[in-house]
Structure 1
């Protein structure tokens, strides 16, 4: 009977797949490249199959390697969970926490991350910023902050708050091109579009009715702040979070269009893989983010109420009373 597979071999394999390079995997593990290569060779010898096809320039998973990679990730997560379960007797949060967050988070969120790391000095915090949805099930991430109208199956989503998505354009643009009254009118307009899941250009907008329709894009970006700026500058019509465009609506830099036609609700949530044992560092991070959301939204509401009470709400109500014609 063969000896059982060593954890070091599984780590070398999964790290090599994630890094797509033996050299990068070795650097991240802090071991010589030859050590990683030797562990991979030993693993393939134990299994009696080829897991990776290696050339001078690339590493490609075989079909068997793809299936084994998924199981290896789950096995390593089980090992980490088992390790964490016996490290919490003194209530000190230890180990590693890998977090994925969108770029352009506000200063209070960045401050929360620094405060969280300072409060847990025994914890190694890895923060990855990207507009793309990282693979939570096999990518080695513990938790991610996501803004989306759809959530990936197989993950637990802790909703923090919801934000309506509304169509907006600059008054100067509407004066020049006309205000659309139906979804068909958008064929004659420039649409500013985002990327689905932060990866692929968007070609559909949601309807208030729950369905969706195809739109032609004139400008694309996975950065919603850039899309907002483009709309303010009169480049076209954009579908953006209401919280992002509220200040521009208040000062009449943007106006809502097709209020009863186009729109959806975006869910802001913390997502993490479903597992029997939630690691204490993930639980601590979730608690910290929930507390931050409560403080941040309370402060925003207080600022809005003291600045110009009722103006934003009144402006939005006025716009939303428009009914589509035709």
Structure 2
């Protein structure tokens, strides 16, 4: 028996971890459960380490298994790219496409993804939804849709839309607590904060002139719709995308505060790993999302005449994220 780990064993392991079930993983791989079990046992034997703790009711990674899982995903992604690099005999888009997106996307985006999957029936599309910023490389993802004022550096990205982040509060809150006149006044106000990268509570807001201001939060959520609802109810001041709060600003249910002092530009961008060869399915998805974004932008302009100019750019070409990362730059 060779000491080299086989691709089938890596696939059995990673699919079992993701499915959290031997039976589901076996069904997805279309092999008998016993065959999957033998591949996992053979993998652990080759490595001389226990990767999974299995009982009749649970399945969990060991500490060594967690490390090996991340590396196995990278290895399998490299295999997929290698296979795609030689499949040039036809224009058929096939294989796997793993996508990471934030929640609460528009119905138009959902429809676009559904149409995309129907357009390429030979493609296996996996869409992972999370408020957390997944690690594209270690998580084995092909591409991610990010909405952030700062996007992880070191990746190739395509900016689709730009949306200013502005501070807003309900008239009832302003009547009860006063309108902040300076950034220092925020020390006496209730701030409604999000989570940095979807993981840790925010502690700072961006300054319009550059830099950041430390703020104390009274309410935290990684769901911007929940933060918007909290602001509408008069719970405090929130920093939110203009596109989300524009209807409430126009109706008077929210007011823009500290307009000249607090704010930044949130970018909605597709990010993916730099590769010498971009898999056809990734290129096809980039084109589909870019077309959707352009249509979405046109619709917003036609239905929102008060929207500020130059808050979005047409997607034309990818740009490299500089090592330092820049607010408001193409990512």
TM (norm. structure 1) is: 0.85
Contact 1:161 1:269 in 2 (8 A): yes
Q: Relative to structure 1, is the Cα distance of residues 114 and 24 closer, same or farther in structure 2, using a 3 angstrom cutoff?
A: closer
**Cα deviation code 1:167-223 (max 9, x no counterpart):** 000112101110011222112211111122122222221222322233222222211
Give, in angstroms, the shift of residue 45 of structure 1: 2.5
Most deviating of 284-293 and 96-105: 96-105
Conserved in 2, the CA contact under 8 Å of 1:193 and 1:238?
yes
Cα separation, 2, equivalents of 1:240 and 1:30: 45
What is the SS of the residue equivalent to 1:248?
A: helix
- Which of 201-210 and 157-166 deviates more? 201-210
State the superposition RMSD in angstroms.
2.4
**Contact 2:71 2:138 survives alignment (8 Å):** no
State the aligned residue count.
Answer: 307
Q: What's the secondary structure of 2:304's corresponding residue?
A: helix
1:76 aligns with 2:46: no
Structure 1 gap segments, 5+ residues each: 315-326
2:53 corresponds to:
54
Shift of 1:58: 5.2
Q: Which aligned pairs between 1:144-159 and structure 2 lie closer than 5 A?
A: 144-159=144-159
What corresponds to 1:168 in structure 2? 168
- Checking the alignment, whether the CA contact within 8 Å between 2:145 and 2:268 is kept in structure 1 is yes
Counterpart for residue 249 of structure 1: 249
1:269 maps onto 2:269 in alignment: yes
1:270 is displaced (CA, Å) by: 0.4
CA distance in 1 between counterparts of 2:8 and 2:284 reads: 28
* 1:148–1:16 Cα change, 3 Å: same
TM-score between the two structures when normalised by the length of structure 2: 0.84
| Runs (5+) with no aligned partner, structure 2 | 310-331
Aligned partners of 2:74 and 2:139 also within 8 Å:
no
Conserved 8 A contact 1:53-1:62: no
Q: Which one has a bigger Cα radius of gyration?
A: 1
